[in-house]
């Protein structure tokens, strides 16, 4: 087997297995950073050996066993791990692999993966570090892949990961799933990370690609994993529903020339019905849990309402405006208010929408969608000169090239 | 990337009823794929099915039996992964449960492919 072929297989196995391998190790060594290093060491060993020996029958188990052995060696060898040695010393007295199998078989590995998710998204870390650590440890992405996706230098991502691991160790963050009052806030932090990754892919804030599909897919995959790990959390299903339905529109959102296609002009035949159905199912699961709808469930309900409309004109804008009103109450933000203005403008006329938008000028100064929405509403009122000026301003403010071209077209429209 | 993974069956091979243990293992495998966030849809297909042929503007149901058909699709899983290699790894796990047989993995084209 060629080195290249082996590398591709190692990478594939790694993507599928890394979260479980790292999570299992983290339970053993009680240090997520160390667990990740050990797993990386096993990955390197696979890259060295597999081209020679061929890929083992059960590559995931091979990686786990190697990482575990390295963990045991490391704990034995290094004085710096004396503390951990005392913690699990009694197991190491007769340390062989079977002793550790015992440790690892106490509970389902899924519980460990959930702990790993909560640890990687711990609020003690700055958001970019949470994102990097989550993609690296749970998504199994390499540092350079994360760097490419976020358009930052690889060294920056590497540094974020190193610092994040140190910060977790320094803060003594326990490897556990939060319970009680803490849980909601910690879960919100996890969901924020996933949604941020999704949005980075869906509405790229910079660069030439409107959609970086890889990031969307990764966020969606992690969301589906999380829904399996925490099936009793309505907001998790809400976020998954939202991402499924948004992802369903990916193909229709970009024209053949790479320009963004607004919702009103999208070819709904290109919407992915399978993902929409999955989104609806996830939303129903969230609602079935009976809690009052949280921000993600509400956003998912809005997305589903759009997805179920046969055409833009036949969209139930009154329902959407109502959902936005609930969302403003649940999670007040000027951006949500701006979206409500769009829905109200559609449901109850552009004047009503414009009233809301004009109240947001101070809060959203510098945000390109404010003049863009304002331009839309003005155009519908027949105030075309003002509308063109708004589109020109929006074009100045956006960092996305494709979006800028679209806005400039509208600014130049007769 | 999306892949359609299908098992194929040789109609000339003797039909043996699947054993219950395999059903349990398959259930666990499907659950694992769902939990891994890669499984979009899965199902079993009736052997043979109804065949339709369109010719000269007329669509007609073609009656069997189809002795010329070497293979009959019996099951599918639609998955979403980062690479073809991941799909192949999953397929290998599937076959480690099922035992002897054959299948095909085909990419389902979507945006960006």
One DSSP character per residue, A70-101 reads HHHHHHHH-GGGHHHHHHHHHHHTT--HHHHH
Query: When comparing pLDDT for A406 and A235, which is higher?
Result: A235
Which of these, B92, B35, B83, lies nearest to A55 by C-alpha position? B92
Give the up-direction half-sphere exposure of residue A87: CA atoms within 13 A in the CB hemisphere.
10
Containing B102, the helix (H) or strand (E) segment is strand B102-108
| Phi, psi of A250, rounded to the nearest 5 degrees | -50, -50
- What pLDDT score was predicted for residue B58? 93
pLDDT band at A32 (very low <50, low <70, confident <90, very high): very high
Q: Domains along chain B?
A: 1-12+23-45+66-113 (3.30.70.1060)
Is residue A414 one of the residues assigned to a domain? yes
pLDDT band at A100 (very low <50, low <70, confident <90, very high): very low
Is residue A166 one of the residues assigned to a domain? no
For the residues A284-299, what does the mean pLDDT come to? 95
Is residue A97 one of the residues assigned to a domain? no
Distances (CA, A) of A257 to A249, A268, A405: 17, 18, 11
Which of these, A7, A15, A14, A19, lies nearest to A229 by C-alpha position? A19
Interface test with B, best of A8, A12, A148, A215 (most B CBs within 10 A): A12
User: Which of A211, A224, A251 is the closest to B37 by Cβ?
Assistant: A224
ipTM score here? 0.80
Give the up-direction half-sphere exposure of residue A397: CA atoms within 13 A in the CB hemisphere.
15
- What pLDDT score was predicted for residue B29? 87
pLDDT digits 0-9 by tens, A110-127 = 889 999 999 999 999 999
User: Percent of chain B at pLDDT above 90?
Assistant: 33
Structure tokens at B35: 């939990």
- What pLDDT score was predicted for residue A194? 95
Residue A323 in this model has a pLDDT that exceeds 70 = yes
The distance of A324 to chain B (nearest Cα, Å) reads 29
- What pLDDT score was predicted for residue A387? 95
Task: Tell me which chain A residue has its CA closest to the CA of residue B42.
Answer: A274
- What pLDDT score was predicted for residue A145? 86
- What pLDDT score was predicted for residue A130? 95
- Please tell me what DSSP assigns to residue A363: T
| Full domain range(s) for residue A385 | 331-414
Which of these, A399, A344, A395, A350, lies nearest to A376 by C-alpha position? A350
Write out residues 17-46 of B within 8 Å (CB-CB) of A.
34-38, 40-41
Collect all residues with Cβ–Cβ distance below 8 Å to A17 and sequence separation of at least 6: A59, A60, A63, A64, A140
- Please tell me what DSSP assigns to residue B8: E
Residue whose token pair is 């369109």:
B54
Is residue A349 one of the residues assigned to a domain? yes
Structure tokens at A189: 């932090």
- What pLDDT score was predicted for residue A382? 95
- What pLDDT score was predicted for residue A95? 47
pLDDT band at A345 (very low <50, low <70, confident <90, very high): very high
User: Which of B35, B86, B111 is the closest to A213 by Cβ?
Assistant: B111
- What pLDDT score was predicted for residue A211? 47
Sign of CA dihedral B79, B84, B85, B88: positive
Which of these, B108, B104, B50, lies nearest to B76 by C-alpha position? B104
Residue A357 in this model has a pLDDT that exceeds 90 = yes
For the residues B31-39, what does the mean pLDDT come to? 87
User: Which of A8, A228, A251 is the closest to B85 by Cβ?
Assistant: A8
Lowest mean pLDDT among A168-177, A342-351, B69-78: B69-78
Is residue A232 one of the residues assigned to a domain? no
- What pLDDT score was predicted for residue B31? 86
CA angle A222-A227-A231, nearest 5°?
160
Lowest mean pLDDT among A3-7, A280-284, A304-308, B3-7: A3-7
Collect all residues with Cβ–Cβ distance below 8 Å to A319 and sequence separation of at least 6: A305
pLDDT band at A87 (very low <50, low <70, confident <90, very high): low
CATH number of the CATH domain containing A378: 1.25.40.10
Interface test with B, best of A222, A224, A239, A279 (most B CBs within 10 A): A224
pLDDT band at A292 (very low <50, low <70, confident <90, very high): very high
Query: When comparing pLDDT for A22 and B66, which is higher?
Result: A22
- What pLDDT score was predicted for residue A279? 97
Between CA A305 and CA B27 the distance in angstroms is 33
Which of these, A341, A333, A334, A343, lies nearest to A361 by C-alpha position? A334
pLDDT band at A164 (very low <50, low <70, confident <90, very high): very high
Peptide bond between residue A33 and the one before it cis (omega within 30 degrees of 0): no
User: Percent of chain A at pLDDT above 70?
Assistant: 90
Write out residues 78-97 of B within 8 Å (CB-CB) of A.
78, 80-83, 85-86, 88-90, 96
Containing A162, the helix (H) or strand (E) segment is helix A154-170
Is residue A347 one of the residues assigned to a domain? yes
- What pLDDT score was predicted for residue A261? 87
Between CA A378 and CA A387 the distance in angstroms is 5
CA angle A191-A275-A289, nearest 5°?
50
pLDDT band at A80 (very low <50, low <70, confident <90, very high): low
Between CA A342 and CA A321 the distance in angstroms is 8
Lowest mean pLDDT among A138-147, A260-269, B69-78: B69-78
Verify whether the Cβ–Cβ distance B35 to A228 is below 8 Å. Answer: yes
For the residues A147-171, what does the mean pLDDT come to? 92
Between CA A51 and CA A5 the distance in angstroms is 8
Helix-helix angle A32-53:A154-170, to 10 degrees: 130
The distance of B40 to chain A (nearest Cα, Å) reads 8
Q: How many domains does chain A have?
A: 1
| Phi, psi of B66, rounded to the nearest 5 degrees | -105, 80
Residue B67 in this model has a pLDDT that exceeds 80 = no
Is residue A264 one of the residues assigned to a domain? no
Is residue A354 one of the residues assigned to a domain? yes
Distances (CA, A) of A296 to A108, A175, A233, A266: 28, 26, 11, 24
The distance of B96 to chain A (nearest Cα, Å) reads 9
């Amino acid at each position: 087997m060629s080195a290249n072929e082996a590398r591709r297989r190692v990478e594939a196995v790694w993507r599928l297995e890394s979260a479980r391998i790292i999570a299992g190790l983290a339970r053993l060594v009680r240090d997520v950073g160390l667990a990740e290093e050990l797993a990386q060491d096993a990955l390197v060993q696979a890259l060295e050996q597999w081209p020679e020996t061929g890929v083992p029958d059960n590559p995931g188990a091979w990686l786990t066993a190697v990482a575990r052995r390295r963990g045991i060696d490391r704990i034995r060898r290094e004085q710096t791990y004396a503390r951990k040695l005392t913690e699990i010393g009694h197991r190491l007295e007769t340390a062989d692999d079977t002793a550790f199998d015992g440790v690892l078989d106490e509970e389902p590995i899924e519980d460990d993966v959930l702990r790993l998710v909560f640890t990687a998204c711990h609020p003690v870390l700055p958001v970019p570090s949470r994102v990097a650590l989550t993609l690296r440890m749970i998504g199994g992405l390499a540092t350079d892949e994360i760097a490419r996706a976020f358009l930052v230098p690889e060294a920056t991502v590497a540094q974020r990961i190193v610092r994040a691991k140190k910060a977790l160790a320094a803060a003594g963050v326990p490897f556990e799933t939060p319970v009680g009052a803490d849980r909601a806030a910690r879960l919100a932090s996890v969901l924020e990370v996933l949604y941020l990754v999704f949005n980075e892919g869906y509405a790229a804030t910079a660069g030439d690609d409107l959609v970086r599909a890889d990031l969307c897919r990764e966020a969606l995959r992690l969301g589906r994993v999380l829904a399996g790990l925490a099936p009793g959390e309505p907001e998790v299903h809400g976020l998954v529903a939202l991402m499924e339905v948004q992802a369903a529109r990916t193909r229709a959102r970009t024209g053949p020339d790479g320009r963004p296609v607004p919702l009103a002009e999208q070819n709904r035949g290109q919407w992915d019905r399978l993902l929409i159905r999955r989104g609806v199912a996830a939303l129903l699961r969230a609602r079935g849990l009976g809690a009052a709808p949280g921000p993600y469930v509400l956003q998912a309900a809005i997305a589903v309402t759009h997805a179920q409309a046969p055409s833009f004109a036949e969209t139930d804008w009154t329902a959407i405006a109502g959902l936005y009103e609930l969302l403003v109450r649940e999670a007040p933000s000027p951006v949500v208010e701006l979206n409500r203005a769009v829905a109200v403008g559609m449901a109850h006329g552009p004047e009503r929408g414009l009233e809301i938008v004009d109240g947001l000028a101070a809060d959203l100064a510098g945000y390109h969608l404010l003049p863009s929405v304002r331009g839309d509403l003005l155009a519908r009122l027949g105030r075309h000169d003002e509308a063109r000026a708004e589109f020109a301003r929006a074009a100045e403010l956006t960092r996305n090239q494709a979006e800028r071209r679209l806005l400039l077209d509208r600014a130049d429209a007769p | 990337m999306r892949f359609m993974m299908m098992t194929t069956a040789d109609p000339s091979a003797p039909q043996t009823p699947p054993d219950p243990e395999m059903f349990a293992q398959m259930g666990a495998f499907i659950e694992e794929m769902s939990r891994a966030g890669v499984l979009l849809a899965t199902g079993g297909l009736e052997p043979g099915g109804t065949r339709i042929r369109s010719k000269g503007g007329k669509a007609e149901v073609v009656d069997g039996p189809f002795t010329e058909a070497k293979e009959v699709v019996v099951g599918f899983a639609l998955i979403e992964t980062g690479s073809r290699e991941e799909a192949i790894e999953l397929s290998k796990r599937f076959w480690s449960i099922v035992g002897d047989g054959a299948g095909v993995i085909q990419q389902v084209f979507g945006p960006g492919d």
